[in-house]
Amino acid sequence: MPSNGPSLITFFVFAAITLVSAIGAMSLRNMVHCGLSLAMSFAGLAALYLQLNAEFVGFAQILVYVGAVAILIVFTILLTKNADVHLPRASRGWLSGLAIAFAVCAAIAVPILKSPSLNRLAPAAPSHSVQRIGEQLMTTYVLPLEAIALLLTAALLGGVVIAMRDDPVDKLKPKADLQPQRRRGAEAAMESTSQRLGG
């Protein structure tokens, strides 16, 4: 965490945005609002990474999570027509869930606070770290990078395919509605032909 005054205030502002957005992603009832809150939470994390001089992690957070994963989630919600799904306000097991959350938080926070690595000074930021990582991604690790891009594209296409599927119940409804009309038309045609033959 930054030690000087303005950086400390900025850190707390970004941390508050991240926490409020994460709470909104879990507590809002509209699925689209949950997805947008999740994207805002990812953006707050990216701002925290950039403030801690972790440029590559911050830019990767923006490109991968904010620019790909969160937008993919929002488009999937919109394409699958689940934007109007409203969940109940509270669950019966919210007390047990809260207790488990506090237990997990304590199990993670206590070892971190007791770790001697907190007393160490942060290492100096390496020069041109983002450039070197980018060169490695474009040369040595280009195949895993392309595999991740194909995976995200396949997920988006899967959402489009699911959205394009018609409901089989809707297909059967017009046929069921047209059957009585067809029967009436056939009966009327038979009556008219019988009357002509009889006449």
Both tokens assigned to 34: 């949950």
Angstrom distance (rounded) from CA 115 to CA 96: 29
Q: What is the pLDDT of residues 70-126, one digit of tens each?
A: 777 777 777 766 545 555 555 667 788 889 989 999 999 998 888 887 777 766 666
pLDDT for 81: 61
CATH of 1-89, one of 3.30.1330.10, 3.40.1010.10, 1.10.4080.10, 1.20.120.1200: 1.20.120.1200
Nearest to 38, CA basis, from 23, 29, 25, 49:
25
More confident residue, 108 or 170: 108
Residue located via tokens 């490695």: 136
Lowest mean pLDDT among 34-38, 60-64, 187-191: 187-191
* Contact predicate 60/42, CB 8 Å: no
For 110-127, b/e burial (b = at least 16 CB within 10 A) is: eeeeeeeeeeeeeeeeee
Question: Are 6 and 43 contacting, i.e. CB atoms less than 8 angstroms apart?
Answer: no
pTM (predicted TM-score): 0.56
Q: How far apart are CA 153 and CA 161, in angstroms?
A: 12
Weakest mean pLDDT among 11-15, 65-69, 72-76, 192-196: 192-196
Domain ranges in the chain? 1-89, 169-199
Q: What string of DSSP letters covers 151-167? A: HHHHHHHHHHHHHHPPP
